[in-house]
Amino acid sequence: MVNCAARLPKPILLMNLQRPSGRAPDQLRPITLERRFTRHAEGSVLVSFGDTRVLCTASVEEKVPGFLRGKGEGWITAEYGMLPRATQERTQREAARGGQGGRTMEIQRLIGRSLRACIDRAALGERTITLDCDVLQADGGTRTAAITGAYVALIDAINGLKQRRLLKRDPVVGAVAAVSVGVWNGVPVLDLDYAEDSTCDTDMNVVMNEGGGFIEIQGTAEGHAFRREELDALLVLASKGVADLCEMQRQALAT
């Protein structure tokens, strides 16, 4: 990633851009990762990306889904939820409505795939780790906060298994974090908050590992289709953001 910034197309960056939050275009919101937020789960992290706060718990169960039974492999899965008043207007509770909606399913599938990408499931053994990501307060970027926090909860849960000597070898093959990027008022910006997200032209969620490899890219042109140059600029921003987030994960896990 040494040369990435060099490839950032110059004309797009406006010097006088004023983000609603006053941040620089490539500046993350204040990030916190509070471990052991609740006490029952094997991993429990309250992650904040600014005003977005997501409680991520990792639960270890000594069983696997039917399609894996007897294969000697473990499973990592995720569920996502939003408290009804995490949002500006109250949204209906999905349990009361009778099921999870399309957006919820889309997000929890993304979280699950992302976390599976950093685990050697054979090394995990026949057990399941479920990552429950519940949004206490939403201000944009809940799915990227969820992935970033869930990784820390997952590591705590796996460390617990290691301490109890239940694993023969380390199943962790890398770190994973995620961030959103988008073109806002014509400028590529990092880590959109709700004010930006709801008015941006292009929105992309990028999941990467600590080595700069891409795990998931989901980009959507909200207003107009985005050009290859914009895409390149967004990927550079995302790489920088994820690198910073991985560093924060390391620090959080070191304490």
Tell me whether residue 231 or residue 248 sits nearer to a copy of itself (CB atom).
231
- The minimum distance between CB 253 and a copy of itself, in angstroms, equals 20
Residues 6+ apart with CB under 8 A from 97: none
Q: CA 139, CA 207: separation in Å to the nearest integer?
A: 19
Q: List CB contacts of 168: < 8 A, sequence separation 6 or more.
A: 123, 125
Shortest approach of a copy of itself to residue 113 CB, angstroms?
6
Is 142 known to sit in a ligand binding site?
yes
Contact 49, 29 (CB under 8 A): yes
Q: Which residues bind a copy of itself (CB under 8 A)?
A: 4, 38-41, 44, 51, 53, 55, 57, 59, 61, 79, 81, 83-88, 90, 93-106, 108-109, 113, 117, 130, 132, 134, 136-138, 174, 204, 208-209, 211-221, 224-228, 231, 235
And the tokens for 8?
A: 């950032």
164: buried, middle or exposed (CB in 10 Å: 19+, 13-18, 0-12)? Answer: exposed
Cα 148 from Cα 31, distance rounded (Å): 10
Q: Is 250 annotated as a binding residue?
A: no
Q: Which of the 8 DSSP states describes residue 164?
A: T
Rank residues 160 and 174 by Cβ distance to a copy of itself and give the closer one.
174
Lookup: tokens for 205: 């969620």
If the CB atoms of residues 16 and 65 are measured against a copy of itself, the closer one turns out to be: 65
Nearer to a copy of itself, 24 or 212 (CB): 212
* Side-chain-side CA neighbours of residue 224 (13 Å): 6
Strand partners, 43: 58
- 141 labeled binding residue: yes
**Length of the chain in terms of residues written:** 255
CB closer to a copy of itself, 56 vs 167: 56
Q: How far is the CB of 27 from a copy of itself (least distance, A)?
A: 22
Q: Specify the residue, 24 or 63, whose C-beta has the smaller distance to a copy of itself.
A: 63
- The CA-based angle 19-192-14, given to 5 degrees, is 40
CB 16 → a copy of itself: shortest distance, Å? 26
Q: Strand, helix or coil at 212?
A: coil
Q: How far is the CB of 169 from a copy of itself (least distance, A)?
A: 18
Longest CA span, the chain = 60
Q: Minimum Å distance from CB 14 to a copy of itself? A: 21
Binding residues, by number, are 103, 141-143
Binding residues for phosphate, by number, are 103, 141-143
